[in-house]
Structure 1
Amino acid sequence: MAPEAPRPGSPRPSGSPPPVEVRRSARRRKTVSAFWEGGTAVVAIPARFTKAEEKVWVERMVERLERDRSRRGGPRSDEALMTRAAELSELFLDGQARPETVRWVTNQSTRWGSCTPGERSIRLSHQLQGMPQWVVDYVLVHELAHLLVAGHTPKFWALVEGYPRTAEAKAFLAGVAFAASRGLTPEGPPA
């Protein structure tokens, strides 16, 4: 019996390789690119590559992604996410937002984050895991603010806008959502 594959966005054992998806493109002539999509390393290569070339480039690009990820840091586990939420609450909400749980989830495809104030729980979509840390921080601040104000009232937005990159992060997420709704990927428009 084969071992069960880890769920997307779930932590993997230390030292084990991430799941990889190879995308071949007839329009791509020479360039190779790689990016995170959730917890999966996506490597885009020209369609003409041989299996041997694919193997070399996948190894090289996954190594680069992992190196970049470790250099960037950021919360990748639920525990690290909880720690980061506490830091952001102190920095931008006077420490008043105190969640019981903060965790990554894989069942949110239409929301970046959600909060259940009665349970004091915050959930972030695993789709945020490859995004810049300041974007993840914005989503955390947004959800932390919901622990203090339930709706999207002027008081709520005043709390969220205490985070200095709010406008930039909202624009970034709007761009990602727009691209996804049009089937656009980092390597270009859909075929």
Structure 2
Amino acid sequence: MPADPQPSVTSPPPRSTPSGPVEVRRSTRRRKSVSAYREGDRTIVLIPARMSEAEERRWVAVMLDKLAAKENRNVLGDRELSERALRLSEQFFGGRARPASVRWVTNQNTRWGSCTPSEGSIRLSHRLQGMPEYVVDYVLLHELAHLLVPGHGPAFWRLLEAYPRTERARGYLEGVVAAGRLPHHDVAGEE
């Protein structure tokens, strides 16, 4: 995507994230739209000049997640998903959660994942495909935890405390659900 041709307001110098530096460009001509794109190893986020610093921080995080999801379109197959579940079980649960099968399904439209502990089977909704890795990992860990603890009681949530991105992933998923109730915007955030 080419640079924003609109006049811009100077923003603070670029910041760095694990995915590289982020440069925020403010435009006096932008009213509502926010967009982002990669330029080499840096991320450019285009926002209206009137946005507050808090709104800027929120939108930068949203747009980084959207770009990561877009770039993560090379979806894991069922075999890779199973291997990932085993790695997560080892890392966060000492390898105690051992699923017999882990697979994507297309018939789960109201849940992100499900688990049948008696069979050791875990199913993830195809709607997770393309979402950031930390979100898929959270849902996998959530279902792995059900192999160890049924229900959603205190012991279940204590298991998930080991994953440092639990709260962020839950917030992301809540945002996806909430966004489903709003008018549709494209991946770049344009209205």
Q: What range describes the TM-score normalised by the shorter chain of this pair?
A: 0.5 to 0.7
Per the alignment, residue 152 of structure 2 pairs with 152
TM-score normalised per structure 1 = 0.60
Partners in 1 of 2:121 and 2:185 — Cα distance?
A: 32
Partners in 1 of 2:89 and 2:140 — Cα distance?
A: 9
Answer yes or no: is 1:69 the counterpart of 2:69.
Answer: no
Q: Deviations over 1:58-82 (max 9, x none)?
A: xxxxxxx9x9337xx6x61000000
Partners in 1 of 2:185 and 2:110 — Cα distance?
A: 17
Q: Shift of residue 160 of structure 1?
A: 1.0
Per the alignment, residue 177 of structure 1 pairs with 177
What runs of 5+ residues in structure 2 fail to find an aligned partner?
1-34, 37-67
Per the alignment, residue 128 of structure 2 pairs with 128
Partners in 2 of 1:104 and 1:111 — Cα distance?
A: 12
CA RMSD of aligned residues (A): 3.1
Map 1:1-191 → 2, pairs under 5 A: 68-69=71-72, 76-186=76-186
Q: Shift of residue 129 of structure 1?
A: 0.7
Partner secondary structure for residue 177 of structure 1: helix
How many pairs does the alignment contain? 129
Q: Shift of residue 170 of structure 1?
A: 0.3
2:114/2:124 contact within 8 Å kept: yes
Q: In structure 1, what residue type is equivalent to 2:139? A: V
| Runs of 4+ with >4 A deviation | 187-190
Q: Shift of residue 183 of structure 1?
A: 4.4
Partners in 1 of 2:190 and 2:110 — Cα distance?
A: 21
Partners in 2 of 1:173 and 1:186 — Cα distance?
A: 18
Partners in 1 of 2:114 and 2:156 — Cα distance?
A: 15
Q: Shift of residue 186 of structure 1?
A: 3.4
TM-score normalised per structure 2 = 0.60
Q: Deviations over 1:13-62 (max 9, x none)?
A: xxxxxxxxxxxxxxxxxxx99xxxxxxxxxxxxxxxxxxxxxxxxxxxxx
1:183/1:189 contact within 8 Å kept: no
Partners in 2 of 1:87 and 1:157 — Cα distance?
A: 20
Partner secondary structure for residue 155 of structure 2: helix
Partners in 1 of 2:116 and 2:181 — Cα distance?
A: 27
Q: Deviations over 1:138-185 (max 9, x none)?
A: 000000000000100000000011111000000000000100133433
Q: In structure 2, what residue type is equivalent to 1:182? A: L
Q: Deviations over 1:97-140 (max 9, x none)?
A: 00000000001111110001111100000111110001000000
Q: In structure 2, what residue type is equivalent to 1:68? A: E
1:134/1:165 contact within 8 Å kept: yes
Partner secondary structure for residue 76 of structure 1: coil
Partners in 1 of 2:170 and 2:161 — Cα distance?
A: 11
What runs of 5+ residues in structure 1 fail to find an aligned partner?
1-31, 34-64
Give the percent of matched residue pairs that are identical in Structure 1 and Structure 2. Answer: 56
